[in-house]
Structures are given as C-alpha cells and as structure tokens.
Amino acid sequence: MEKISPAELYPLEHYARIKTEYRARIMDHKKDRRLAIGPHLTLYFEDRLTIQYQVQEMLRVERIFEPDGIQEELDTYNPLIPDGRNLKATMMIEYADAQERARQLTQMVGIEHKIWLQVAGHERVAPVADEDLERSEPGKTAAVHFLRFEFSPAMIKALRGGAVFAAGVDHKVYRHIVQSVPENIRTSLVGDFD
C-alpha cells in the first residue's frame, strides 16, 4: 500500500464538516480489522484508511495546519501502513478495571513477542514489536504495542487460495488461540497483500 501524502489529507475546516460521516465509515471499516485473542488482548490491524483517519484526528485535535507539522504526523504514522508483504497491528491489552490492568501488565512482560499468526501448512509468524521505541520496562509491559508480521510469498499465496488463518498468544500467564480467523476479518486482511 502506498504511503499517505499531505495532498490526500483534508484541510481542518473541510474535515470538521465531514468528520461525523467520515468517522462512521471508518468505524464500520474497522469492524473487519479487529481480532480478539482471548478476553483481554485485541489486535487492531492497520491499513491505509485507518492510518489516514488517525492522522486526520491528530491534526484536528492538535490543530496542526503547518506543512512541517503535517509531515511530522505522516512520518510518525505512515510506517504503520502494510507494504504488501506484511500485516501491521496495534495490540491492546484491555481490562476495564485500571487496578486489575496494572496488576496484569506486571505479569505479562514480553507478551508482545508471544503473539503469532499462522497460515495453515506454514510456520507461525512471530511479530517484530515496537520498532519505533521500546514500550515495556523491567517488571511491566505496556498496554499498547505496535506489531509487524512478515509473510512469505508462499504464505500469501495460500491465504489468497483460502487457507485457514489462525492466531494466538503463547505467554505463560495468557494463552489463547483463535483456530480460524473469522471470514470477514480474514478477507479484509488478505487485501493488505495487494
């Protein structure tokens, strides 16, 4: 997928007029890009549309309209767009209770390296985690991590051909498997390899 250029972004005043409709369209799109692995860990797979929305929102919230500021946001978020050989996801550890979440994060150190995706008949794909900066510290992991999963041409071909797609977490305190990624999510993610 191509990176987003400044010319593709809506000016702030125009975005303010279309924001509600645009957000509804993005939220509908994101439904097919959200994969829960167990009750407390979710992968939100990014693509060009989700990242453009994120950039638009950052520009709106921060009131950024200068070219240098816009380019800085694009430089931050464009790396989260898949490049045709990979899937990129924001991983979130989600507990409703803040104290429980804090306690669990001390138990889940290293979990960002224990996620996997697998195309039937192929090896599991482990992620490259947090390429931009380390998000964990000794004794505690972060609730949010950014992951990149690299796929071989054979894996991509198998996915396009309908191979079963699985996902899981194999951490000592959090083990869950999705035996078959739901078809709506699978279809959306296969599109990232175009």
% of the chain beyond a pLDDT of 90: 93
Section 116-138 average pLDDT: 87
60 lies in the same domain as 93: no
> How many C-beta atoms surround the C-beta of residue 65 within 10 A?
11
100 lies in the same domain as 192: yes
128 lies in the same domain as 58: no
Compute CA distances 131 → 105, 128, 148, whole Å.
20, 7, 9
98 lies in the same domain as 163: yes
Task: Quote the number of domains for the chain.
Answer: 2
Domain, as residue range, for 134 = 33-46+83-194
Burial of 134 (C-beta count, 10 Å sphere; 0-12/13-18/19+): exposed
Is the pTM here over 0.85, yes or no?
A: yes
pLDDT for 133 beyond 70: no
42 lies in the same domain as 53: no
